[in-house]
Chains A and B, each alone.
Chain A
Amino acid sequence: MADWNAFFKGDEDDEEPEDGEQSGGDYKITGRDSLVFLVDASKEMFIKGEDGEPSNFDMTMQVVRSVYTSKIISSYRDLIALVFYGTEQSKNPRNSFKHVYVYHDLDEPGAKRVQEVDALRGPKGAQLAAETMGSGETSLGDALWCCANLYSDIKLRLSHKRLMLFTCRDDPHGGDSVKNRQARTKAGDLKETGVVIDLMHLMKPEGFDVSLFFRDIISPPEDESELGLQLSPCEKLDDLQKRVRAKEQKKRAMARLSLCLGNDVKIAVGIFATAVQARRPGAIKLYRETNEQVRSKTRIFHTQTGSLLLPSEIKKAQVYGKKQIVLEKDEVDSLKKFGDPELYLIGFKPMEKLKVHHHIRPSVFIYPEEDEVKGSSCLFSALLKKCVEKNVFVLCRCIARRNYPPRFVALVPQEEQLDQGNVQVTPPGFNVIYLPYADDMRTLDTPQGPCASQTQVDKMKEIVTKLRFKYRSDAFENPVIQQHFRNLEALALDMPAPEETEDLIMPKMDQMDKRLGILADEFRMMVYPDNYNPDAKPAAKRKTDANSGGAEKKPKVEVPEDELRAHVNNGTLGKLTVPVLKEACKQFGVRTTGTKKQDLIDALLAKLGP
């Protein structure tokens, strides 16, 4: 059935979806992203923390693993490598470097690699690391050189190159100036080829002094402020995870637009998607015999002559009021053109005018693009400051890209926030909230029942207070996607069964009940009468159940042919219900491709219509 659909559906999916704006992520255009984890494997890394805290090495491996798995889900085409330095054993492409162990060279992460990283976690992992690699001398220069070779061995185009250095030693060479100089030179070389070097410095007892050595190794922070160096070393897994996460994803603008205030005052902003609904990735078609990937080719041809049709030989049409209206293909595109892409300032409104229920799609984020229009940041910053101060939002008309109809958006100011460790938790900029048009709002017939008394409300307040928690947006994993990838993992690795996933969005009934205690009963007593059964179906429903006797669930629904033809001729097929239409399709031997009402109607019209 699915194939059948794929075959015919093409006819209708010509219209572009309009909601693509918020998608971000994988840009095939600019090449692959790459990330090298360069991890210190010296003895210091394996020292366990007090009261059973994991060692720095263990912590690093956990983070590396989570990056591997998240890359598999979100951007599998990125390349990742894992390299250890300060090892006893050496393993690298030409084995020209001592004490550098390339555990994984730059490649797409796969199931096997995840397993291999897993093997390095925990006490067993430390043991394995000691057996295979051991700890030995350190030469960061060699390690960096080796990494440079990894990059240059890649034949693919790399758009973004990043190297993350995990260590807890601020003076790796013990003051050896030759080695220090060599490392600095190599780091310089790497940076010159466009590699960004980040330091993920980990806690050590005397504190980590970045200025001692690493200041010259790492890339300067992008805003040139001293912020990057003031970061305190990571102590906790969470911190490290957060810091790696923030760096690991290359932020890319979905689009660059000008924000026009009027009278030619225009600044440039980049649009970023900060939350994009992750979906289960689409299936790939494979040839049954060999499991090799097949390509699909779509072609449009003339049914009578069988010749392929060029774009100029086809037109587009829609039917309204029983009339087929035909437009040229480029006319169809021009229908949506209202102007050039830009954000155009309409005015300002107080924040309270932004209603919670005016929501039609996820928001995006804008930040000035100084390298497009110089002076953008300054004006943007002034706008942001004043909007925050006056508690207003900016109303703009937004044409997100060419041939996109306009939408109105609210630019909501957001100030920068840092946590205790000086790590940015919220970036400065505006959140762009899409506002609904009249068509997007539905008129509801709002039922008005009796209201609760204050004592009932107070009881509910107790319940609410008992069940309060601190919501964090990153606390809930998507069980559907997690399950999908666990399944794939199991299949890829020939595991007997997929790893159990915990459904984090299941209510924790036991805990909740325990916390509530008798409160739930008390509230029920206050609002529900004794014989009240919330599971009971409303009376009307039951009656119909009784009538049909439950035996015949789907009564045959048929419409006499002449009546049906009358409907066809009057264009009133829409009045019939889906089951009736389906039956009618069967009756006339009409093959339908869809189950939607319109599909059925179209199919019938095609068969019986004039």
Chain B
Amino acid sequence: MDVGFSMSNSAPGEEPPFELAKKVMQKFVQRQVFAETKDELALVLFGTDRTKNSLQQDDQYQHISVHRHLMMPDFDLLEEIANQIQPENQQADWLDALVVCMDLLQTETKGKKFERLIIAVLTDLCTPASSDNLDIIIGNLKKSGITLQFFLPFPVDEEDEESDSGDRGAPGHPGTGKGLSREQQQGLDTVKHIMLSLDEEDGLEEVYSFRNALEQLYMFKRIERKPMAWPCQLTIGSSLPIRIVGYKASTEEKLKKMWFTVDAQSNQKDDVKKETVYCLDDDNETEVQADDTIQGFRYGSDIVPFSKVDQDQMKYRHDGKCFAVLGFTKQNLVQRHQFMGNQVLKIFAPKDDEHAAVALSALIRALDQLNMAAIVRYAYNKSSNPQVGAAFPCIKQDYECLLYIQLPFTEDLRQFAFPSLENKKLTPSETQLSAMDSLIDSMMLVEEDENGEPKDMLKVHHIPNPAFQRHFQCLHHRAVSPGTPLPPMEAWLKAALERPEVINQRCQAPLNELKKKFPLTEVEKKKTKKTSAQIFGKESEETDAKKAKRDEDDEEYNLADIAEGSVTSVGSVDPARDFCTLIRQKTLPFVCQQLTHRIEQLLSNKNTHYYMKSITCIQAFREQSVKLGNAELYNSYLLSLKRSIPNRGLEVFWDLLVQDRVTLISRDEVEGSTISKQESNQFLVAEEKEEEMASPTAEDTGDMDDLLDMM
């Protein structure tokens, strides 16, 4: 990057090239850091006051300094770019800087393998460059296979080569308004010369303007994984094998990194330890060593002890890697909504095997012409579970392949019957149908453009996963400006998730029409669910009565009680009452701690009676918290309680809590609560689904990604 004095010149109201160049670099490094590629990066500054490079000699290669040697980019580098790199006062020959970079690449890549070598030059081309050795430089660039990229304050157009640069002030490209100086024009010619001699046709595609580059760098890099080849044989019967290679073509990508827990004070991971202990389901919760446990499985109501050794011996075995055709079927019998799994494989013939390519091509074309698909048995390797799936033909302009997708097993299917919609009461009228008709017409995302070519306005598979973008945005923010709240979502990201504006405008009228034609009324929710008290009938009647009484004379906890001095801690007989009494004498945190401790004790008994008692306690806790206007303690306790439900097997208790509608304290009730009314209500609902998620234990099917990780 050029940090010489001309870089900080700019027309009034415009950002100087230096700042823009710095931003480009920042964004670029950011992307590299979060993408965690193994790419290495060095930073060479020129125009610096100092000189620091391995080629410097006498007055050669002056004012060029290697700021960072070739290594993986990290936050240190980002911080350095942000804080240390300043405009300086010298000028240096950018061709000299290029040579320093080439030298650096040559010496520092020794012994390492790189796929691509790139030098990106950020400069305004204001310094004269001596083009004496230009041919040698070009020759060396070619020889070592270095790709060159230029980032300039102004755009370069191929057609514009001859035109004078005076009227380049095209909108969107400020910084070009003042026209190019003689040096710049000369420099530009040199750039063009180099680029075109490196790549005659598309050489200028690697020359960018700062603005342009920033626009392209605004989002974090999409996750890229190296495709892993899966060599196998496709078999049809016992005597017709075809060699194939499979690649994952699409799969639901996840972030590789997980959150780990650190101590809130020290931020140290090592200060926190998580421990799982096993205990018997008896009164004492007798702890049992992990070594003293064995595995068992449920067979309906029976639990069958089944040792690991036995499991291994008796488990389903197969011959390993396999892609065997079971038969062929009409494509329309394999329905889209029955696709299973979370990936699609593309199956090709191996690169070096022409015969396999011909054989596979015959199969692909035969299937395509007959409109059929192959049903296959697929097994990734010996230790993974076999699947049944479909292989569809796919013929593109420049390649052919099979697309493999997993299909369901009998056990996976749930056949639900739904009431027919062909019902007199529900059937939409003609006017309703035509309202819907015009809505659809107004909201078609695929239209023909001027040339009659269909144009898709919103391609989902071109949108980066917003979750990753947001994740990186926030992490980056926290890393560079710790102590400040997380930033709002970026505008472009929000916009990317919305309707295209033209559609949004076009659909307004039909939508309003639709609104008139279809009366919709939200049904008031009648909570018919019984509360726990009702369910447990007699057993809890007592508590109910007590509760009622307490509600009645809330002021019962008067001075007299306190004067008695009988209550000093939250006991186990009537903890809720003790709590309500104590709260008048002591601080909330202190009493809360006692109460929650008591609740935990009650819960550990796993008995409906104790559950009821706990709920009474929690209700009292809630009531008092609202009264005192302190929602934090209660909410955080309830949240942590909720999280611990699955681990402690307290689902039954949770059910009761849900039925009694013991929610979080919302903002509506206590000012300063961080919970909205809706979140408070959601609190109970959300659990329902999380439960559900937790149930299937992930089975390691062992797949391409795993292998990839091992590479």
Query: Given the complex, which residues of B lie within 8 Å of A334, measured CB to CB?
Result: 486
- Check A558 for interface membership: any CB of B closer than 8 A: no
- Check B340 for interface membership: any CB of A closer than 8 A: yes
Query: Given the complex, which residues of A lie within 8 Å of B346, measured CB to CB?
Result: 357, 444, 446
B336–A412 contact, CB under 8 A? yes
Query: Given the complex, which residues of A lie within 8 Å of B318, measured CB to CB?
Result: 479, 503
A223–B40 contact, CB under 8 A? no
Partner of B223, one of A316, A427, A439: A439
Query: Given the complex, which residues of A lie within 8 Å of B348, measured CB to CB?
Result: 446-447, 449
Query: Given the complex, which residues of B lie within 8 Å of A6, measured CB to CB?
Result: 276, 290
Could you write out 26 A-B pairs with CB less than 8 Å apart?
A: A25-B692, A28-B651, A251-B417, A274-B415, A275-B338, A296-B647, A302-B272, A310-B636, A310-B640, A336-B467, A348-B445, A349-B446, A356-B336, A359-B405, A377-B421, A378-B427, A379-B514, A387-B440, A434-B252, A439-B468, A442-B247, A444-B227, A447-B348, A465-B370, A476-B388, A507-B235
Given A303-B270, A498-B314: A76 touches B461 (CB 8 Å cut-off): no
- Check A154 for interface membership: any CB of B closer than 8 A: no
Partner of A442, one of B33, B250, B651: B250
A405–B466 contact, CB under 8 A? yes
A contacts with B, residue count (CB < 8 A): 260
A373 to B694, CA, bound (A): 30
B304–A488 contact, CB under 8 A? yes
Which of B76, B435, B460, B687 is packed against the most chain A CB atoms within 10 Å? B460
Residues of B344-374 contacting chain A, CB below 8 A: 344, 346, 348-363, 365-367, 369-370, 372
- Check B590 for interface membership: any CB of A closer than 8 A: no
A459–B292 contact, CB under 8 A? no
A485 to B270, CA, bound (A): 42
A29–B433 contact, CB under 8 A? no
Partner of B691, one of A27, A385, A414, A470: A27
A596 to B710, CA, bound (A): 6
Query: Given the complex, which residues of B lie within 8 Å of A488, measured CB to CB?
Result: 297, 299, 304, 306
- Check A354 for interface membership: any CB of B closer than 8 A: yes
- Check A477 for interface membership: any CB of B closer than 8 A: yes
Q: Nearest-CB distance from A537 to chain B (Å)?
A: 9
Query: Given the complex, which residues of A lie within 8 Å of B281, measured CB to CB?
Result: 292-295
5 new A-B contacts at CB < 8 Å, known A71-B300, A309-B263: A11-B274, A275-B413, A320-B75, A327-B486, A461-B369
B692–A254 contact, CB under 8 A? yes
A578–B710 contact, CB under 8 A? yes
Given A298-B276, A484-B316, A512-B237: A534 touches B242 (CB 8 Å cut-off): yes
A459 to B336, CA, bound (A): 29
Partner of A347, one of B251, B280, B503: B503
Residues of B370-384 contacting chain A, CB below 8 A: 370, 372, 375, 377
A2 to B239, CA, bound (A): 42
- Check A524 for interface membership: any CB of B closer than 8 A: yes
Given A76-B298, A460-B362: A297 touches B276 (CB 8 Å cut-off): yes
Say which one of A52-60, A89-97, A177-185, A241-249 lies at the interface with B: A241-249
- Check B34 for interface membership: any CB of A closer than 8 A: yes
The SS class assigned to the B binding surface is mixed
A473 to B236, CA, bound (A): 21
Given A301-B273, A325-B479: A436 touches B292 (CB 8 Å cut-off): no
B639–A76 contact, CB under 8 A? no
- Check B410 for interface membership: any CB of A closer than 8 A: yes
B518–A295 contact, CB under 8 A? no
Chain B window 696-711, contacts with chain A (Cβ cutoff 8 Å), 1 for yes, 0 for no: 1111000000100111
- Check B279 for interface membership: any CB of A closer than 8 A: yes
Query: Given the complex, which residues of A lie within 8 Å of B390, measured CB to CB?
Result: 471
A428 to B161, CA, bound (A): 62
Query: Given the complex, which residues of B lie within 8 Å of A101, measured CB to CB?
Result: none
- Check B436 for interface membership: any CB of A closer than 8 A: yes
B300–A318 contact, CB under 8 A? no
A386–B336 contact, CB under 8 A? no
Given A6-B276, A286-B293, A314-B272: A479 touches B352 (CB 8 Å cut-off): no
Partner of A14, one of B259, B336, B401, B696: B259
Chain A window 474-487, contacts with chain B (Cβ cutoff 8 Å), 1 for yes, 0 for no: 11111111111101
Given A297-B647, A381-B428: A447 touches B349 (CB 8 Å cut-off): yes
A12 to B457, CA, bound (A): 40
Say which one of B134-142, B205-213, B319-327 lies at the interface with A: B319-327
Q: Nearest-CB distance from A603 to chain B (Å)?
A: 13
- Check B309 for interface membership: any CB of A closer than 8 A: no
- Check A291 for interface membership: any CB of B closer than 8 A: yes
Given A157-B535, A311-B636, A424-B418: A460 touches B366 (CB 8 Å cut-off): yes
A327 to B709, CA, bound (A): 27
Chain B window 35-68, contacts with chain A (Cβ cutoff 8 Å), 1 for yes, 0 for no: 0101010000000000000000000000000000
Say which one of A103-111, A544-552, A585-593 lies at the interface with B: A103-111
- Check A557 for interface membership: any CB of B closer than 8 A: no
Query: Given the complex, which residues of B lie within 8 Å of A433, measured CB to CB?
Result: 336-337
Given A279-B699, A456-B362: A346 touches B329 (CB 8 Å cut-off): no
Query: Given the complex, which residues of A lie within 8 Å of B426, measured CB to CB?
Result: 377-378, 381
Closest chain B residue to A311 by CB distance? B640
B247–A444 contact, CB under 8 A? yes
Q: Nearest-CB distance from B657 to chain A (Å)?
A: 11
Residues of A434-480 contacting chain B, CB below 8 A: 434-452, 456-461, 463-465, 467-480
B292–A281 contact, CB under 8 A? no
Q: Nearest-CB distance from A505 to chain B (Å)?
A: 5
Q: Nearest-CB distance from B111 to chain A (Å)?
A: 10
Q: Nearest-CB distance from A309 to chain B (Å)?
A: 6
A472 to B445, CA, bound (A): 34
Query: Given the complex, which residues of B lie within 8 Å of A401, measured CB to CB?
Result: 686, 689
Q: Nearest-CB distance from A252 to chain B (Å)?
A: 9
A439 to B372, CA, bound (A): 30
Q: Nearest-CB distance from A605 to chain B (Å)?
A: 11
B271–A304 contact, CB under 8 A? yes
- Check B398 for interface membership: any CB of A closer than 8 A: yes
A288–B337 contact, CB under 8 A? no
Residues of A499-542 contacting chain B, CB below 8 A: 501, 503, 505-509, 512-513, 516, 520-521, 523-524, 527-529, 532, 534-535, 538-539
Residues of A217-255 contacting chain B, CB below 8 A: 221-225, 227, 242, 245-247, 249, 251, 254-255
B301–A110 contact, CB under 8 A? yes
B693–A478 contact, CB under 8 A? no
Q: Nearest-CB distance from A205 to chain B (Å)?
A: 29
